[in-house]
């Protein structure tokens, strides 16, 4: 197991290191203003990012890692999900590959739901939901199995699901904790590259993967890789999902 921070090359081993990292983001990051408050985003040059959320006194109180990758997935943004009373924190529930069905009125409005943490949640507060849009989804590996080919995966005796599957938790608004941004993903690797985080000199591997109608930018802490991901291969495992709405 690893953490979303480590998946983009930031490893925290103590409370002091966490405070130092928050300070680095606050000092070197770019300020992003919204109607509800301010973020600071630190860009590493490897497309990995840290989004710090600032309180009323402009102090960072939380950091959300993300990878600004190439994945693009059409979704129906169905619901905003609040898990505390802080205006900068939030998640979305989205239907992948939306159709003409209306949520709650019979028939599924898409293939399946995905819940994602949004590092700049308050930036898109103006959007009226539900709406169809495009999102860029990052999947930070918590644990992962890697296969060099589709054939190798199909012959694997302990596989959980078919290639192209995405399985999310069946949490509801009444659940505790509610709406976790986690998923089990089994997907084909389209592209991949290893990066060194210039701030920490820790390595992580990125891959663009295809899972049915959804794409994800997978990021993995190099320390948990027994073998590297390869184009044409398959990845399967548990992931933390973050996402940003594409406003282009």
Per-residue pLDDT at 1 exceeds 80: no
Count of helix runs (H) and strand runs (E) in the chain: 3, 13
Per-residue pLDDT at 171 exceeds 70: no
pTM of the model: 0.93
Instruction: Tell me the per-residue pLDDT of 90-146, one tens digit each, with 9 for 90 and over.
Output: 999 999 999 887 776 677 889 999 999 999 999 998 999 999 999 999 999 999 999
| Calpha distance 86→53 (Å, rounded) | 10
- So where are the chain's domains? 4-67, 73-246
| Calpha distance 75→216 (Å, rounded) | 13
Residue 175 has what pLDDT?
45
Compute the average pLDDT of residues 183-188.
97
Position 176 confidence tier, pLDDT thresholds 50, 70, 90? very low
As a whole number of Å, the CA-based R_g of the chain is 18
Instruction: Tell me the per-residue pLDDT of 30-83, one tens digit each, with 9 for 90 and over.
Output: 999 999 999 999 999 999 999 999 998 888 888 999 999 999 999 999 999 999
Distances (CA, A) of 45 to 15, 67, 75, 241: 26, 11, 28, 21
Q: Tokens 């959804």 label which residue?
A: 214
DSSP state of 120: T
| Calpha distance 59→29 (Å, rounded) | 13
SS3 content of the chain, % helix, strand, coil (to 5): 10, 45, 40
Q: Tokens 């992931």 label which residue?
A: 239
| Calpha distance 52→119 (Å, rounded) | 8
Pick the more confident residue, 142 or 176.
142
Q: Please enumerate in sequence order all residues whose Cβ is within 8 A of that of 222, keeping only pairs 6 or more positions apart, or say none.
A: 194, 202, 203, 204, 205
Q: Please enumerate in sequence order all residues whose Cβ is within 8 A of that of 15, keeping only pairs 6 or more positions apart, or say none.
A: none
Do the Cβ atoms of 135 and 246 come closer than 8 Å?
yes
Q: Over the chain, what is the mean pLDDT? A: 91
């Amino acid at each position: 197991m690893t953490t979303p921070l480590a998946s983009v090359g930031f490893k925290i081993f103590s409370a002091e290191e966490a405070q130092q990292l928050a300070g680095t983001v606050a000092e070197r990051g770019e300020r992003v203003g919204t109607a509800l408050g301010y973020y600071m985003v630190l860009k590493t040059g490897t497309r990995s990012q840290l989004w710090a959320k600032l309180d009323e006194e402009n102090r960072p109180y939380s950091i959300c890692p993300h990878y600004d990758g190439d994945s693009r997935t059409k979704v129906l943004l169905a619901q905003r999900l609040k898990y505390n009373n802080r205006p900068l924190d939030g998640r979305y529930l989205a239907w992948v590959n939306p159709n003409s069905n209306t949520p709650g009125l019979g028939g599924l409005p898409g293939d399946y739901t995905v819940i994602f943490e949004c590092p700049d949640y308050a930036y898109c507060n103006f959007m009226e939901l539900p709406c169809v849009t495009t999102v860029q989804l990052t999947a930070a590996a918590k644990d992962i199995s890697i296969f060099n080919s589709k054939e190798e995966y199909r012959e694997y005796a302990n596989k959980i699901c078919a290639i192209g599957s995405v399985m999310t938790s069946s949490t509801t608004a009444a659940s505790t904790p509610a709406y976790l941004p986690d998923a089990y993903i089994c997907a084909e690797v389209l592209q991949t590259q290893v990066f060194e985080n210039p701030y920490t000199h820790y390595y992580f591997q990125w891959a663009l993967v295809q899972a049915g109608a959804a794409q994800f930018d997978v990021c993995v802490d190099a320390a948990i890789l027994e073998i590297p991901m390869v184009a044409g291969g398959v990845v399967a495992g548990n992931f933390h999902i973050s996402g940003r709405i594409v406003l282009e």
